[in-house]
Structure 1
Amino acid sequence: MKNAAAAIGAVLFLLGLAPLFSQSRSGSNLTVEDAVTKAVENQPLVLKAEAAVAAARAGIGEAQSSYFPTISGSASYTRLGPDQSVDLGPLGSFSLYPVDNYGFQVGLNQLIFASGSRGLQVRLARAGVDAARIGVEQVKMNIAYQTVQTFYSVLFLEQEMKVLDEQLYDLNQHLDVIQKKADTGSATKYDVLSTEVRVASLQSQKTAAESQYQKAEIALRQLVGLAPDAKLSLAGDFSPGSVPTDRGALVNEALSNRVEVRQAAQAQTSAELAQSLAWRGGLPTLSAHASFGFKNGLLPDSNSLTANWSAGVQLNVPIFSGLLNARKIDEAQAKLQAAVQGVAAAKQSVTTDVREAVEDIDASRKQAEASLVQLNHAQEMVNVAKVRYDVGVITNVEYLDAQTSLAQAKLAHLRDVYHQMMSQYTLKQALGQKIWQSPAGLPASPAGSPAP
């Protein structure tokens, strides 16, 4: 019967504690899904990254422009001197060239063959666009998980202040009782002072928690794009997820999804293209040119503007460039080797992140279970201490110690379930999951739903 009563008491206690791990307020509540969506949509850093994609896309057009001819027009005026005219007497005068020379030309140049370098430049520009798009995803990833961290920090600090308020209320109630006992001589001044010291210490702890809470709220408002004085109303809980078991599958998922691995692979692709482009720097090129215009100084009438044209082809064969191209090839090869090692380093880092995240989930789950046991014991100790204090078996200090242990156990369990929740998101981040695109992948946080 005694064990059954204790079990029933523990169940009733946990039911009373459940509101500490959930939150439901009247009005419009902001869920973690809403916060992530708003943060990704409203952050200037995302717009900045998307502008970088537009700039990189324009680079493709720049590279493709080499396939088209260049057309330019020119106009010139030149005065020559001295005047080289010859007087022929009755026949008049004859000028070797006009003093005033005019010219109007339209020229066209077309690169015909460049040993494949133009195609490589276009591919390199497209690789730049891919890298910029990955950069957008990385920015969104960082903002999304930063928002999750801040959201649950606000939620945790709010619940922590509730626990502190409850403890502070109990201490003040106890202080009133001790003060009345001291007035009647059934308690000492030491009992009153010791209780007042605990109240002051707890009040200081609550002030520090309130300061952290205000800072976290400021950060969350900035992330989701709310006004600095806007009221925050959060809806969520610390419902833990399952502990993953297939670590190999998780590592493979991370290697496919993580932005860092994809960025490193993209850098390697760009380095390979740059190396191929460097090798073609010493190959010949073939181009064509043509021009048409009007100018004076041509026979038979050197003073009138006469139509003229020219056309031809040009083969350019590099022979010696001061070893410039050889140095470019060496540079490209070194960058390619660095990019290959970058891919290997990124894969190692991602593998480590996933395995550590899985270990954190398992450890945080065990810690939450252990702290729940401690919480149950602390509650039982307070119940026993209350009875013993009322009959005068233990002192006021001993009873206060039991209450303090209970409050600390509540806070410890709150921190453990918070860490257990955050370890789930740490794994999601390690796996490269796009939580801003798949709200269903987020742990559900319905208003008022208690944690299990």
Structure 2
Amino acid sequence: MKPFYRILVLSLVVPLWVNAQTQPDEKSSFTLDESISYALANTVSVKNARIDAQMSEAKVKETFGIGLPQVSGSVALQHNPKLPRFYSKYTEGQPSIIDLSTIPGISNGDVVAFQNVFQLPSNGTAGLTINQLLFSSTYLVGLKAAGTYKDLAYKTEEQTQIQVLENVTKAYYAVLINNERISLFDNNIARVDTLLRNTTALNQNGFAEAIDVDRIQVTLNNLKTERLKFLNSQNLSLGLLKFQMNYPMEKDLTVVGNLTDLTVNENLFNEYEEGWDYKNRIEYKLLDTQRKLQELDIKNKYSNSMPSLSGYLNLGYGTQSPTIGGLFKTESNIPSTSEFGPDKWYPYTAFGITLNVPLFTGLQHTYQIQQSKLSLLKIQNNYNSLKQTIDLSIEQNTTVYKNSLETLKSQRENMALADKVARVTKIKYEQGVGSNIEVTDAENSLKEAQINYYNALYDAIVAKVDLDKAYAKLDPTKYAAQQPAK
């Protein structure tokens, strides 16, 4: 290869290779806030809800456009091989465009069909039609309804975001707690493995029995087996988190966080109860918007019986010719100063207003209004039902949260005691004043206490998330500015 071509190839390939090496990989480590932001930006349900909200905005503009001038243009060419005839009744003594008395054999009262002398076989028109709505109560109500419909779409999007926030939070903490459990398994395995090696050395020197070694070996094998099972379960937890975030399943995902940052205590109740209002719940906002829409629907049905006023303007040009080809010619023997030529396309203009007054519609509007009022009554009844549902939800989740706090406190104390017992038992065994059975029992008790503690911790976190939802504290708007693009 010549030096010139070698340099050319390198100048093209090297920048591409460098760019590929420096291209950043997709983010794979997420905090809780980052997980929620990613989910709000990429979850299909949120995307669809956001599209619905955008569609509602387009619907508002569509409704607004009804009140703007409606302009349409048209061009028409027509040829009549046979023109329709004109008919006239002959009455003696009455004037007529054509003197029918010259027709042989005609008598008083006869109807004569004669050639169309007022129209040529080919004609063309080109014009504009402009319609403007001047007054319509239906249009005014429709504008308000379109705006309310947009509010409903955005509240529905918020409801979807709250659901995603709840699901991602629970899935995230499940993975985070499982990571802590795996670390505990590793510590327990390391501790039991050390105990096994020490006991094996004691057995070889005649200070411990072989059965002691076997018992510890069984404990160690069980720990390793349970850790393997737990790793498989953790993969499922990660899969669930990826699903809730709409994160690619084939890519690795790591959660970043610290359980010590969790706020799980009874001080939350005072914060929640202060300034609490049913209107904070998204379900209440949705119901309130539906009520407004139903009230506007009633107004719309009333407005259908009101008069409407519109104006119109038609303008354009028209011409006629013996042939189609003649429509496109402007030559004429008529002088240009004449009002009849030489241009054979002549303008026309018409304008006016139209008043439409509904008089009788077979009582359809009456019964439509009656149905809409009954639907509004159902919505008003739902207010009481929704309030009772919210009250019950708050009471239930408060009770569950309080119970989970008590359970968590108890399991934390049990885990600390079990850890203390395991340490003391191991020291006693190493000093020859304790038995091997006591050591294995203490290790099993510690493992069980640790499992119970983390189960209680996860239950407390889930209860807190449910309580946050009950008190309308799950706010997706604070993650809006953080949402990354996928």
Shorter-chain TM-score above 0.5: yes
Provide the rounded CA distance (Å) in 1 between the counterparts of 2:204 and 2:188: 24
Provide the rounded CA distance (Å) in 1 between the counterparts of 2:116 and 2:293: 66
Q: Which residue of 1 aligns with 2:49?
A: 49
Please say if residues 121 and 320 of structure 2, whose CA atoms lie closer than 8 Å, have aligned partners that are also in contact.
Answer: no
Q: 2:125 aligns with which of 92, 103, 114?
A: 103
Please say if residues 134 and 309 of structure 2, whose CA atoms lie closer than 8 Å, have aligned partners that are also in contact.
Answer: yes
76 and 386 in structure 1: CA distance in 2 versus 1, 3 angstrom threshold: closer
Provide the rounded CA distance (Å) in 1 between the counterparts of 2:425 and 2:284: 58
Q: 1:329 aligns with which of 365, 369, 373?
A: 369
**For each residue in 1:335-373, what CA deviation from the matched residue of structure 2 results, as whole angstroms up to 9, or x when unmatched?**
323433444333333333333332233222211221233
1:137 correspondence with 2:154: no
Provide the rounded CA distance (Å) in 2 between the counterparts of 1:173 and 1:246: 46
Aligned-partner residue type, residue 221 of structure 2:
A
Q: TM (normalized to structure 1)?
A: 0.75
Q: Which residue of 2 aligns with 1:419?
A: 459
Provide the rounded CA distance (Å) in 1 between the counterparts of 2:199 and 2:361: 95
Displacement after TM superposition at 1:124 (Å):
0.7
1:253 correspondence with 2:276: yes
Displacement after TM superposition at 1:53 (Å):
2.2
Q: Which residue of 2 aligns with 1:270?
A: 293
1:61 correspondence with 2:61: yes
Provide the rounded CA distance (Å) in 2 between the counterparts of 1:231 and 1:83: 82
Please say if residues 264 and 405 of structure 2, whose CA atoms lie closer than 8 Å, have aligned partners that are also in contact.
Answer: no
Aligned counterparts, 1:141-180, within 5 A: 141-179=162-200
Aligned counterparts, 1:165-314, within 5 A: 165-179=186-200, 191-220=212-241, 223=245, 228-230=250-252, 232=254, 234-238=256-260, 239-244=262-267, 250=273, 253=276, 255-296=278-319, 305-314=345-354
Aligned counterparts, 1:333-348, within 5 A: 333-348=373-388
Please say if residues 254 and 432 of structure 1, whose CA atoms lie closer than 8 Å, have aligned partners that are also in contact.
Answer: no
Provide the rounded CA distance (Å) in 2 between the counterparts of 1:145 and 1:433: 11
Provide the rounded CA distance (Å) in 2 between the counterparts of 1:167 and 1:46: 43
Say which SS state the counterpart of residue 282 (structure 1) adopts: coil
Provide the rounded CA distance (Å) in 1 between the counterparts of 2:116 and 2:246: 86
Displacement after TM superposition at 1:281 (Å):
2.2
105 and 437 in structure 1: CA distance in 2 versus 1, 3 angstrom threshold: closer
Say which SS state the counterpart of residue 95 (structure 1) adopts: coil
**For each residue in 1:129-157, what CA deviation from the matched residue of structure 2 results, as whole angstroms up to 9, or x when unmatched?**
11122233223323333332222222100
Please say if residues 166 and 474 of structure 2, whose CA atoms lie closer than 8 Å, have aligned partners that are also in contact.
Answer: no
Gapped regions of structure 1 (runs ≥ 5): 1-27, 87-92, 440-452
Displacement after TM superposition at 1:164 (Å):
1.6
Of 282-291 and 362-371, deviating more is 282-291
319 and 189 in structure 1: CA distance in 2 versus 1, 3 angstrom threshold: farther
Provide the rounded CA distance (Å) in 1 between the counterparts of 2:73 and 2:255: 67
**For each residue in 1:24-78, what CA deviation from the matched residue of structure 2 results, as whole angstroms up to 9, or x when unmatched?**
xxxx975433433444345454444333222211211211222223222223333
Please say if residues 294 and 306 of structure 1, whose CA atoms lie closer than 8 Å, have aligned partners that are also in contact.
Answer: yes
Q: Which residue of 2 aligns with 1:430?
A: 470
Please say if residues 253 and 431 of structure 1, whose CA atoms lie closer than 8 Å, have aligned partners that are also in contact.
Answer: yes
Q: Which residue of 2 aligns with 1:17?
A: none
Provide the rounded CA distance (Å) in 1 between the counterparts of 2:257 and 2:29: 5
Aligned-partner residue type, residue 237 of structure 1:
L
Q: Which residue of 1 aligns with 2:134?
A: 112
Aligned-partner residue type, residue 65 of structure 2:
S
Say which SS state the counterpart of residue 217 (structure 1) adopts: helix
324 and 160 in structure 1: CA distance in 2 versus 1, 3 angstrom threshold: same
Say which SS state the counterpart of residue 67 (structure 1) adopts: coil
Q: TM (normalized to structure 2)?
A: 0.71
Provide the rounded CA distance (Å) in 2 between the counterparts of 1:280 and 1:434: 41
Provide the rounded CA distance (Å) in 2 between the counterparts of 1:426 and 1:185: 59
Of structures 1 and 2, the larger Rg is shown by: 2
Please say if residues 294 and 305 of structure 1, whose CA atoms lie closer than 8 Å, have aligned partners that are also in contact.
Answer: yes
Displacement after TM superposition at 1:313 (Å):
3.0
Please say if residues 31 and 236 of structure 1, whose CA atoms lie closer than 8 Å, have aligned partners that are also in contact.
Answer: no
Please say if residues 244 and 358 of structure 1, whose CA atoms lie closer than 8 Å, have aligned partners that are also in contact.
Answer: no
Provide the rounded CA distance (Å) in 2 between the counterparts of 1:96 and 1:414: 99
Percent identity reads 18
Aligned-partner residue type, residue 35 of structure 2:
A
Q: Which residue of 2 aligns with 1:40?
A: 40
Aligned-partner residue type, residue 60 of structure 1:
V
Provide the rounded CA distance (Å) in 1 between the counterparts of 2:33 and 2:358: 60
Displacement after TM superposition at 1:122 (Å):
0.5
Please say if residues 106 and 292 of structure 1, whose CA atoms lie closer than 8 Å, have aligned partners that are also in contact.
Answer: yes
438 and 173 in structure 1: CA distance in 2 versus 1, 3 angstrom threshold: same
Aligned-partner residue type, residue 56 of structure 2:
A
Of 166-175 and 182-191, deviating more is 182-191
Aligned counterparts, 1:346-425, within 5 A: 346-383=386-423, 385-386=425-426, 389=429, 395-425=435-465
Provide the rounded CA distance (Å) in 2 between the counterparts of 1:95 and 1:343: 75
Of 203-212 and 76-85, deviating more is 76-85
Provide the rounded CA distance (Å) in 2 between the counterparts of 1:380 and 1:247: 36
Aligned-partner residue type, residue 299 of structure 2:
S
Say which SS state the counterpart of residue 266 (structure 2) adopts: coil
Provide the rounded CA distance (Å) in 2 between the counterparts of 1:229 and 1:54: 31
Provide the rounded CA distance (Å) in 2 between the counterparts of 1:381 and 1:203: 22
Gapped regions of structure 2 (runs ≥ 5): 1-27, 87-97, 99-114, 322-338, 480-486
